[in-house]
A and B are shown apart, each in its own frame.
Chain A
Amino acid sequence: MSTIPLSMAEAAELLRNGSLTSVSLTEAALARAEAHDKLLGVYLARFDESALAAAKQADEELASGRDRGPLHGIPIGVKDIIAAADGPTTAQSLILDRAWGAGKDAPVVARLKAAGAVLTGKLTTMEFAIGLPDQTKPFPLPRNPWDPTTWPGGSSSGTGAGVAAGFVLGGLGTDTGGSIRIPAAFCGITGLMPTFGRVPKSGCAPLGYSLDHIGPMARTARDCADMLGVIAGYDPSDPDCVDVPVDAYVPRPGASLEGLRIGVDRVHHFPESADSAVGPAFDAAIAQLEGCGATVVEIELPYFREMVAIDMLTMFSEALAYHMNDLRQRWDDYFAATRAMVARGAFVSGADFVQAQRVRRVALRALAGLYRSVDIVATPTAGTGAPAYDSPELSGQMDPERLFGTIFTPYWDPTGYPVVVAPMGFTADGLPISIQLAARPFEEATALATANAYQEVTDWHRRVPPLVVEVDS
């Protein structure tokens, strides 16, 4: 049997009943990474020494009766656009000044450490969380554990692949157009984009100031709930952070979804180019949720096309403001896809940006109206499994219009609504596919409870890539 349990909750139980130590768990996770990370490209930096020291401390504290909660002694990783005192933050870029954030923990990292989590290292991303991997630059190429010829999704690529491969039991990602939800979907794990302002994003290199969210990625909704309970809450260092009480996010086991109203949008989420497995898997997932007690109604998300455009235009503009000076002086040092994306900001005028924020408010009003009749909106996360690196979507010039034609995440970022994604099956090629569940602002608990109920009656989230099965046998 592997010394690496599938979920954080299972590991937490074993750590407390004495059948597992944090040191042995951390050693096993690091050994697995040592064996397979050359192939998968999960880590940008590993902190073996400090991780094992933190694990030893966790063991000593748990043995002495000091229990810091569900993350105590659990190996985790952090996307390398979020600062941690253990090593420099690179944003997987030659551009970011290594002095930025040096020796400091972002508030979310400080909270995870205070909760006893064991930080094993910094995980791969796309450069500054945008664009695509670039094999001409001196950084690892992240690969999907389900099929290493495919992309794990991005931009929180290392966190998605690392959790799926069991290098870590959970980690942090960030989401501006789908960067938590896309890799979670493509890697067959669970991810949560919290409400905008629920989790402080200071200490994180920005992509789109008004769109960026930091959130948990882990195998289960329960694990994401445990992580959110630690990282959520006001911090005065983030002007967007909202001072509202932190809920109890951990779902009640066996809870019924009786009374929950789920709206299903079939209008915008089933293009002809979708994989043939997605429709039936989504229908089956909705039937499972009905079986858990939920009521399902057909809806159409308002201003869908406009909100996708608003996400793009706002991101291009806000990113260009951040990168303008460096792009002028060091164009070639950026990844080709990064500069192709960020330069699009030059096509958006100041008036265009403000108009986007006006329509954003119109759409928010309409969405609030829709949520008077539903509690959750469910859609597929993407219309396909992970694309191959040699596919037209990922090779050649950056073409976001093509790449995102079957990815349904960007609508939600400008809304600020919390969204959970969870595995719901596989394509015929054995690649994970995923369902997306969006709740009202600050109702993460509802989204997590819905995903948890689904995971109590399915086992898609417990499937592991063949590579991991091979290692364990």
Chain B
Amino acid sequence: MALLVSESLQGELVTDNDQNLKVGTVRALLDAAGLLPSPDEVSALGKAYPLVRAMCDDLYAVAEARYEIPALHFEPRPLFTPWAPDPEAMNFHD
């Protein structure tokens, strides 16, 4: 689904140095998150990393978002209930 992004990045994925740098960055990010993939997986994620970063960076280029608020919703009142509540716990309705 990020093909449009990946097409614009083909030229970036050419040098070993670039790839090593990306793999190093990826390893650092995964380490920081406490994730421990195999070397092969780190290498594969190193190839995905520029595409994910390009997707993120493209979003900062949307001028119309400059004064936009995020599509996040927060409801301070606890209006929702657990799903399929334990019947025992529902006795307060009696």
Contacts and interface: CB of A to CB of B under 8 A. Distances in A.
A364 B64 CA distance: 12
A256 B70 CA distance: 40
Given A237-B80, A355-B60, A359-B68, A410 B1 contact: yes
A31 interface: no
A210 B56 CA distance: 18
A305 B37 CA distance: 30
Given A346-B33, A347-B26, A358-B69, A316 B5 contact: no
B30 A346 contact: yes
Contact of A361 (B30, B44, B58, B68): B68
Interface string A402-428: 101111001000000000000000000
Nearest to B79: A236
Interface string B54-94: 01101110101100111111010001111110000000000
A248 interface: no
Contact of A203 (B49, B68, B84): B84
Contact of A106 (B1, B56, B83): B83
Contacts of B6: 401, 405
Contacts of A13: none
Contacts of A235: 83
Contact of A360 (B3, B26, B71): B71
Interface string A273-287: 000000000000000
A355 B45 contact: no
A347 B35 CA distance: 12
A339 B33 CA distance: 13
Q: Is the interface of A mostly helix, strand, loop or mixed?
A: helix
A328 B35 contact: yes
A343 B59 contact: no
Contacts, number: 162
B34 to A, nearest CB: 4
Given A311-B1, A313-B52, A110 B59 contact: no
A239 interface: yes
A348 to B, nearest CB: 6
Contacts of B58: 305-306, 309
B68 A362 contact: yes
Contacts of B35: 327-328, 331, 343, 346
A233 interface: no
Contacts of A202: 83
Contact of B52 (A101, A110, A347, A405): A347
Interface in B39-57: 40-41, 44-45, 48-49, 51-53, 55-56
A397 B44 contact: yes
A340 interface: yes
A347 B83 contact: no
A409 B62 CA distance: 22
Contact of B65 (A105, A348, A355): A355
B14 interface: no
Contacts of A432: none
A364 B71 contact: yes
Interface string A4-20: 00000000000000000
Given A313-B52, A328-B34, A344-B52, A401 B5 contact: yes
Contacts of A361: 65, 68-71
A312 B2 contact: yes
Nearest to B78: A239
Contact of A355 (B1, B56, B80): B56
A362 B84 CA distance: 36
B64 to A, nearest CB: 5
Contacts of B79: 236, 239
A346 B59 contact: no
Contacts of A328: 33-36
A400 B52 contact: no
Interface of B: 1-6, 26, 29-30, 32-37, 40-41, 44-45, 48-49, 51-53, 55-56, 58-60, 62, 64-65, 68-73, 75, 79-84
A-B pairs, top 5 by smallest CB distance, nearest first, are A404-B1, A357-B70, A202-B83, A405-B3, A237-B83
27 contacts: A104-B84, A210-B72, A236-B80, A238-B80, A238-B83, A239-B75, A271-B3, A305-B4, A305-B5, A310-B59, A324-B34, A336-B41, A339-B37, A339-B41, A340-B41, A340-B44, A340-B45, A343-B35, A343-B45, A347-B53, A348-B52, A349-B56, A358-B68, A400-B1, A401-B2, A405-B1, A405-B3
Given A312-B2, A401-B6, 18 more contacts: A237-B80, A237-B81, A306-B62, A312-B1, A340-B48, A346-B33, A347-B26, A347-B48, A348-B56, A355-B60, A357-B70, A359-B65, A359-B68, A361-B65, A364-B71, A404-B2, A405-B1, A407-B1
Interface of A: 83, 101, 104-107, 110, 177, 200, 202-203, 210, 235-240, 271, 303, 305-306, 308-313, 316, 320, 324, 327-328, 331, 336, 339-340, 343-344, 346-349, 352, 354-362, 364, 397-402, 404-407, 410
